């Protein structure tokens, strides 16, 4: 019997598997996808996420693949001028702190984690296996899969993303909420962007009902663009719906030339359209031996760049709670009590950040002065555990 069954091999599930393996725990992780493919685009690792990942020994691997922006600018949509906003990147550099952001391709981050888990135990990950249901009693929890397999363990973690089956079974099925936002994602080769876009600042261009984030990836060989558009007309789910560049450009036709120039250089067939969903905060994540983690517990809008970070923080705190007590039901209670308010606060703050980025008025300086800085000061490796 393995001690832990994890459902879902995304960033959260893999980080959790690694944190537990490093304590000698035997972990079994099940992923529905038949193989890990190169999906997604840029992912921001903010300081809380980096602190967590570095505590697992991944600093060198991340720094070999990630980019560090020289600044994080906010720009006006009409003029392209940089708005007065605190320069957190520079501040962290001056303090000698770890970088305020790393930018990494999701596929690279995912591979770093999967390789580390498999290096510890080549049998830890089972692909192509879709979780169906669980039953729990005083002795443990039994997970059943669509291929008929049954796995018994002391604890089960649902790290199975926004459409979490584990969550549905724990608390009843409810559809995710369409947030009225669509993202267009594209990667432009280095040679096709204006030289100043290769220089290294990440730029968030903000305007009424839209904003566009761009930053370099893979050591400046790519520029990652994500254009967010407020809409009520498209609610298809998924990460990989092909999008029409002309449609994307039309949404930004009144914007400054830098923005339009970048959009025009999006490769003809590479742009993907992605409807943004979240869910309302859950009042609890755990029943007995079964709990939720990452997007399974708190799927959120990407406007603070903290979605993946929340899953990483969850995983790091879970591994710390595991060390505290041999009572595994209590581990889950400590984990949830330590993490739930933080993750739910960030979920709601991510919604508010969309209103800030896309506000109809132009008082940007005032809005950006009231940032969510306190949310970025968190450290999952030292935050006090709630010893319930």
Contact flag: residue 210 with ligand FAD (CB under 6 A): no
The single residue among 171, 190, 239, 368 that binds ligand FAD, judged by CB under 6 A, is 239
Contact flag: residue 69 with ligand FAD (CB under 6 A): no
Give CA angle at 8 (64, 236), nearest 5°: 95
Least Cβ distance, residue 94 to ligand FAD (angstroms): 27
Contact flag: residue 380 with ligand FAD (CB under 6 A): no
**Strand residue runs (E) in the chain:** 2-7, 27-30, 42-46, 72-76, 101-105, 125-126, 131-136, 141-145, 150-158, 177-189, 202-207, 210-217, 222-230, 241-242, 272-278, 290-292
Least Cβ distance, residue 74 to ligand FAD (angstroms): 19
Contact flag: residue 106 with ligand FAD (CB under 6 A): yes
What is the bridge-based pairing of β-strands 272-278 and 241-242? antiparallel
Contact flag: residue 130 with ligand FAD (CB under 6 A): yes
The single residue among 4, 13, 125, 170 that binds ligand FAD, judged by CB under 6 A, is 13
Tell me how far apart the alpha carbons of residues 217 and 83 are, in angstroms, rounded to a whole number: 24
Least Cβ distance, residue 300 to ligand FAD (angstroms): 8
Least Cβ distance, residue 385 to ligand FAD (angstroms): 21
The single residue among 151, 159, 275, 333 that binds ligand FAD, judged by CB under 6 A, is 159
Contact flag: residue 278 with ligand FAD (CB under 6 A): no
If you write DSSP's letter for every residue of 156-219 in order, what string do you get? EEE---TT-HHHHHHH---PPEEEEEEEEEEEEEGGGS-GGGGSS-EEEEEETTEEEEEEEETT
Contact flag: residue 75 with ligand FAD (CB under 6 A): no
Least Cβ distance, residue 197 to ligand FAD (angstroms): 19
Tell me how far apart the alpha carbons of residues 224 and 237 are, in angstroms, rounded to a whole number: 21
- Token pair for 289: 């031996």
- Token pair for 367: 């809005």
The single residue among 4, 5, 6, 7 that binds ligand FAD, judged by CB under 6 A, is 7
Cα torsion angle, 102, 108, 110, 115, sign: negative
- Token pair for 213: 């984030």
- Token pair for 310: 């929340």
| Residue nearer to ligand FAD on the CB measure, 338 or 364 | 338
Contact flag: residue 231 with ligand FAD (CB under 6 A): no
Residues 310-349 that bind ligand FAD (CB under 6 A): 311
Contact flag: residue 161 with ligand FAD (CB under 6 A): yes
Least Cβ distance, residue 274 to ligand FAD (angstroms): 8
Contact flag: residue 131 with ligand FAD (CB under 6 A): yes
Give the residues across from 292 on adjacent strands.
158
Size of residue set near ligand FAD by CB under 6 A? 31
CA proximity to 307, closest of 317, 296, 321, 318: 296
Active-site residue 215, yes or no?
Answer: yes
For residue 223, the SS3 value is: strand
| Residue nearer to ligand FAD on the CB measure, 357 or 364 | 357
Check 100, 102, 215, 378 and give the catalytic one: 215
Contact flag: residue 48 with ligand FAD (CB under 6 A): no
> Tokens 């290769």, residue?
198
Tell me how far apart the alpha carbons of residues 207 and 72 are, in angstroms, rounded to a whole number: 17
Least Cβ distance, residue 166 to ligand FAD (angstroms): 8
Tell me how far apart the alpha carbons of residues 109 and 43 are, in angstroms, rounded to a whole number: 8
**Active site positions, annotated:** 215
List contacts with ligand FAD (CB under 6 A).
Answer: 7-13, 30-33, 39-43, 106, 130-131, 159-161, 165, 239, 294-296, 302, 307-308, 311
């Amino acid at each position: 019997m393995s001690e832990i069954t994890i459902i879902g091999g995304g960033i959260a599930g893999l980080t959790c598997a690694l944190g537990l393996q490093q304590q000698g725990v035997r972990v079994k992780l099940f992923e529905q996808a038949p193989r890990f493919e190169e999906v997604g685009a840029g992912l921001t690792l903010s300081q809380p996420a980096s602190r967590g990942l570095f505590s697992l020994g991944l600093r060198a691997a991340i720094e070999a693949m990630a980019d560090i922006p020289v600044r994080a600018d906010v720009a006006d949509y009409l003029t392209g001028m940089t708005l007065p906003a605190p320069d957190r990147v520079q501040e962290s550099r001056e303090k000698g702190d770890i970088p305020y952001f790393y930018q990494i391709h999701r596929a690279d981050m995912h591979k770093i984690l999967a390789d580390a888990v498999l290096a510890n135990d080549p049998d830890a990950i089972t692909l192509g296996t879709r979780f169906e249901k669980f039953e729990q009693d005083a002795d443990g929890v039994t997970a059943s899969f669509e291929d008929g397999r049954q796995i018994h363990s002391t604890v089960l973690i649902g790290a199975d993303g926004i459409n979490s089956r584990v969550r549905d079974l724990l608390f009843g099925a409810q559809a995710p909420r369409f947030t009225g936002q669509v993202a267009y994602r594209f990667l432009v080769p280095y040679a096709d962007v204006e030289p100043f876009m290769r220089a290294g600042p990440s730029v968030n261009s903000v305007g009424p009902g839209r904003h566009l984030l761009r930053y370099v990836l893979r050591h400046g060989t790519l520029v990652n663009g994500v254009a967010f558009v407020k809409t009520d007309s498209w609610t298809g789910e998924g990460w990989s719906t092909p999008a029409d560049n002309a449609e994307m450009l039309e949404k930004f036709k009144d914007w400054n030339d830098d923005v339009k120039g970048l959009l025009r250089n999006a490769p003809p067939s590479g742009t993907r359209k992605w409807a943004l969903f979240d869910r309302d905060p859950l009042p609890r994540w755990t029943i007995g031996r079964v709990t939720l983690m990452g997007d399974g517990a708190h799927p959120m809008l990407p406007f603070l760049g903290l979605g993946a970070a929340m899953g990483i923080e969850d995983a790091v705190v879970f591994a710390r709670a595991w060390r505290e007590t041999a009572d595994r039901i209590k581990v889950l209670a400590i984990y949830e009590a330590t993490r739930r308010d933080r993750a739910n606060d960030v979920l709601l703050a991510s919604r508010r950040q969309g209103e800030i980025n896309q506000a109809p008025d132009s008082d940007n300086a005032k809005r950006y002065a009231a940032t969510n800085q306190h949310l970025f000061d968190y450290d999952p490796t030292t935050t006090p555990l709630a010893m319930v």
